[in-house]
């Protein structure tokens, strides 16, 4: 850090196993990606090329290499995995990730229905060649999954070989673990945490109030995802109690 302050909570250090910040790139240019890394690289643990943007992104290989050169793992959004899968092109998907040197893979079923045993089979297969992040939860706001089912799905996917499970919220933060208003489904979250280790869950939390909720509930080393590139520094300040929302959270506790 740039200067000494007491009573700052201890953050895990990179390469982190927990306390992760996952950022979603929805279309930064090469120069924007470089500018972003110039300020935020120390605080970014994983970078997702959102949904299917990698298919239409110019200079994709060069862009991936920019992130990889900063030792930041890159992966394609789960929607791309689903797009290959529904077209019966899973072998093509594997060829693509190998060709681009992608070491992390998101396995999701937010847009299509996959029998869960089959999804776990893909997790098991892909875990042999990559670090798997499996996403639980539907992008359909009308599809409400009961807490016991979230727990069952998450634990099964971790057992199948996923390194982390991602709690679905979309980039807008208004489905899955959140209500349409963006409010956290607190009962759901707290029930999940009784059965699934918090360090194995990445909570998609694009909105500041959502980030604050998880920081207060779990602590500064909670795994958070779907951060906008412009919000990374602000989040890191909030993690360590240097934003108004968390200013008093760690005083006399560190």
Q: Are 157 and 123 in contact (CB under 8 A)?
A: yes
Q: Which whole-number Å values give the CA distances from 181 to 25, 110, 141, 187, 210, in the listed order?
A: 24, 19, 11, 16, 11
What Å distances lie between residue 130 and 74, 85, 105, 185, 190, CA to CA? 11, 17, 6, 32, 30
CA dist 113 and 135 (Å) reads 13
pTM for this entry? 0.94
The confidence score (pLDDT) of residue 181 equals 86
Q: Where are the domains of the chain?
A: 21-246
Reported CATH class of domain 21-246: alpha beta
CA dist 131 → 12, 165, 235, 241 (Å)? 20, 11, 25, 31
Strands (E), 111-200: 131-136, 164-167
Distance CA(56)–CA(155), nearest Å, equals: 34
Instruction: Report the alpha-carbon distance of residue 50 to residue 79 in Å, rounded.
Output: 8
CA–CA separation, 224 and 18 (whole Å): 10
Q: Are 51 and 82 in contact (CB under 8 A)?
A: no
Residue (of 105, 60, 114) closest to 85 by Cα position: 114
Residues of the chain below pLDDT 50: none
Contacts of 51 (CB under 8 A, 6+ apart): 26, 77, 78, 79, 80, 171
Angle value at C-alpha 105, between 98 and 65, nearest 5 degrees? 55
């Amino acid at each position: 850090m740039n200067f000494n302050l007491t009573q700052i909570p201890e953050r895990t250090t990179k390469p982190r196993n927990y306390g992760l910040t996952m950022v979603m790139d929805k279309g930064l240019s090469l120069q924007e990606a470089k500018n972003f890394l110039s300020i935020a690289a120390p605080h970014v643990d994983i970078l997702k090329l959102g949904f299917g943007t990698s298919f239409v992104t110019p200079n994709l290989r060069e862009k991936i290499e920019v992130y990889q050169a900063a030792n930041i793992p890159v992966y394609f959004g789960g929607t791309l995995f689903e797009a290959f899968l529904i077209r019966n092109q899973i072998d093509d998907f594997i060829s693509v990730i190998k060709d681009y040197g992608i070491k992390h893979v998101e396995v999701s079923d937010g847009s299509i229905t996959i029998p869960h045993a089959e999804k776990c089979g893909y997790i098991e297969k892909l875990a042999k060649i990559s670090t798997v992040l499996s996403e639980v939860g539907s992008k359909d706001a009308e599809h409400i999954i009961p807490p016991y089912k979230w727990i069952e799905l998450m634990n099964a996917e971790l057992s199948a070989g996923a390194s982390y499970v991602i709690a679905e919220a979309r980039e807008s933060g208004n489905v899955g673990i959140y209500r349409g208003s963006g409010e956290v489904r607190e009962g759901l979250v707290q029930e999940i945490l009784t059965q699934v280790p918090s360090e194995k869950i990445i909570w998609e939390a694009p909105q500041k109030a959502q980030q604050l909720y998880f920081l207060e509930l779990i602590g500064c080393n909670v795994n958070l995802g779907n951060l906008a590139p412009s919000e990374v520094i602000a989040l890191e300040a909030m993690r360590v109690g240097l934003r108004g929302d968390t200013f008093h959270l760690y005083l006399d506790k560190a």
